[in-house]
Amino acid sequence: EVFTAMTDMSRLLTTEGEMIRAVENFIIAQEEKLEKLKKDLYEMERVHDKASLSPEDFLANPINAYLLVKRLTVDWTDLQNFMTDNSMGQEMLTNLTSMAELLRWPDEEDLNGAAVALMRLQDTYKLDTAHLARGQINGNIHAYRELTASDCFELGRQSYNSGDHYHTTLWMNEALNRYEMETNKTVIYADILEYLAFSTYMQGNVRQALKLTDELLVERPDHQRALGNRAYYLEALNSQQAKKRGDDSDNIDVEAVEKGYTVTENVDVNDAWHRERRSYERLCRGEGKLLPQVAKKLNCYYQNGPTDFLRIGPVKTEVVHIHPNIYIYHDVLSDSEVATIKELATPSFKRATVQNYKTGELETASYRISKSSWLKAEDSETVTRVNNRIGSITGLNMDTAEELQVANYGLGGHYEPHYDYAQREEKDAFKILGTGNRIATFLFYMSDVEAGGATVFPHLNIALWPKKGAAAYWYNLYPNGEGDALTRHAACPVLVGTKWVSNKWIHERGQEFRRPCALNIDALE
Ligand SMILES: O=C(O)CCC(=O)C(=O)O
Ligand SMILES: [Fe+2]
């Protein structure tokens, strides 16, 4: 016991002194943390207010949109951890989570989706990593701020989680560049190196992976995973060299690996898929040029038949391709019709699905990213009027057509090359309906798009650029009912802005006298 002697009691004062200092230090540390939190909050408020002035414009920029998702996931997790460290914060969190049903919180899947979308934009539009990190999208379109090392790191980490080592190395390298420039470091150097080394290894560059791991070990000599990886990379390198010595026929690959080229196995970059892909991306970037002999056959005119509707009010028609014929009709949907259709469709928007051709089931797929819903003619007078207008312009029977589909593409939204007509097994679904296949597509553009978002036909070398109020129209089938493979088309990813379309798929039944069928595919109109 201490109270019996003065000497022991005086030692208590020393203890108390320590206690006071500890509390003091605690307060200083908390104040510093709060100071930093205040600064972060101030910045968040500033951006938030700016964004709220015009959410559509702000979020039209894919980097701004990505950063918003990141703030509500990664940054929010950090804030939560900070706040659970003290009891007042805990209470606030409880309040906030009780509002969970009212608020929309993005989750890890949303963050991953946003990151994957950015990577898609980067690839399709050939955007440079360093430019993107500076917040530059294309031309003079900028994000509200540059990316920090931590933002780049997070993009790398998300790519890593998707098994995409190519983008992991791009973004982790950029995170390193940014890290070196930062005075207030936003990320841990060793973490970047660890991801970068592993993805570099996965990309086939073992030597570089080893070098990066050695760098990491200089910084953190007792980093257990780095030590383990180092041994592993060394072994991989040794066995490669052994293989190189023993087997000359293989040395091309080994050299490629050592020089840091990606080893791509069994990939013929000239196969049909790759050729189509290249054409698709080129067209999306606006690089497709029509051959003069093709271009000279195209023309514009006022179409004033075959229906009374067109005789009274001819439609501005642009022929954008011949055989198969593709038309653009200008000013066929008014701004107020567009507004009504958007309003009607939005409440029932769902992530768009595609039909699995093996199982016949509808499912979501990464190659079609948009939200969509269907509008019945009974739903509104506007929908009825619009349906009738399509009938008048095309001269086709609308009774067997599908409902009007409305779609909105957001951050990186797209629809990769596809046919609108049903093939093989899918055809059965239409047989059951008794309406036949999708003979034609009528596609309204309900918005302009700031950048990207063209409808492209990779096998025809044409790109249609969305223009609010205009519509594209083409036959998917030959007169004999066979699908016209040249009508394969795609919706390019939206780079900046948002894209709205609505489309009508017109079916075969009911067109027998309007578009007579023929026995062979050469019987074109
Ligand atoms: O949005 C586009 O440009 C094309 C959409 C499309 O091809 C479709 O929905 O089938
Ligand atoms: Fe389509």
pLDDT digits (tens, 9 = 90+) for 65-79: 999 999 999 999 888
Can you say whether residue 447 is alpha, beta or left, with left for phi > 0 and alpha for psi between -120 and 50 degrees?
A: beta
Tokens of 58: 């702000």
At 273-290, the pLDDT tens digits run 999 999 999 999 999 888
Task: Give the mean pLDDT of 18-29.
Answer: 82
| Best CA proximity match to 448, nearest among 412, 496, 493, 413 | 496
Task: Give the mean pLDDT of 26-39.
Answer: 87
Is it the case that residue 158 has pLDDT exceeding 50?
A: yes
Other C-beta atoms lying within 10 Å of the C-beta of residue 249: 6
Going by CA atoms, what residue is nearest to atom 1 of ligand 1?
491
Mutate to test the pocket of ligand 1, among 369, 415, 468 (most ligand atoms within 8 A of CB): 415
Separation of 452 CA from ligand 2 center, angstroms? 17
pLDDT of residue 257: 42
pLDDT of residue 255: 44
The one-character DSSP state at 148 is P
Is it the case that residue 178 has pLDDT exceeding 90?
A: yes
Q: Cβ(444) to ligand 1 under 6 A? A: no
pLDDT of residue 86: 66
Report the range out of 104-118, 284-298, 461-475 with the highest average pLDDT: 461-475
pLDDT of residue 175: 98
Q: Which of 256-265, 325-334, 348-357, 390-399 has the lowest mean pLDDT?
A: 256-265
Which CATH superfamily groups domain 289-507? q2cbj1_9rhob like domain (2.60.120.620)
Q: Cβ(489) to ligand 1 under 6 A? A: yes
**DSSP labels, 434-470:** TS-SEEEEEEEE-S--SEE--EEETTTTEEE---TT-
Other C-beta atoms lying within 10 Å of the C-beta of residue 386: 25
Mutate to test the pocket of ligand 1, among 328, 489, 492, 505 (most ligand atoms within 8 A of CB): 489
Separation of 418 CA from ligand 2 center, angstroms? 6
pLDDT band of 310, cuts 50, 70, 90: confident
Alpha carbon 321 to its chain centroid, in Å, reads 29
Alpha carbon 436 to its chain centroid, in Å, reads 34
Task: Give the mean pLDDT of 391-414.
Answer: 94
Task: Give the mean pLDDT of 6-17.
Answer: 74
Mean residue pLDDT across the chain: 88
Separation of 129 CA from ligand 1 center, angstroms? 29
Task: Tell me the helices (H) and strands (E) count for the chain, helix number first.
Answer: 19, 18
CA distance 26 to 266: 61
pLDDT of residue 129: 97
* Burial (Cβ within 10 Å: 0-12, 13-18, ≥19) of residue 7: exposed
Which amino acid, one-letter code, is at 194?
Answer: E
Separation of 468 CA from ligand 1 center, angstroms? 15
CA distance 274 to 450: 28
Separation of 392 CA from ligand 1 center, angstroms? 22
Separation of 415 CA from ligand 1 center, angstroms? 7
- ipTM score above 0.95: yes
pLDDT band of 396, cuts 50, 70, 90: very high
Mutate to test the pocket of ligand 1, among 362, 501, 504 (most ligand atoms within 8 A of CB): 501
Q: Cβ(213) to ligand 1 under 6 A? A: no
At 76-99, the pLDDT tens digits run 988 888 887 766 667 777 777 777
CB distance 475 to 469 below 8 Å: no
CA distance 475 to 324: 7
Task: Give the mean pLDDT of 136-140.
Answer: 85
pTM of the predicted structure, to 2 decimals? 0.84
Work out which ligand 1 atom sits closest to the CA atom of 490: 7
pLDDT of residue 259: 41
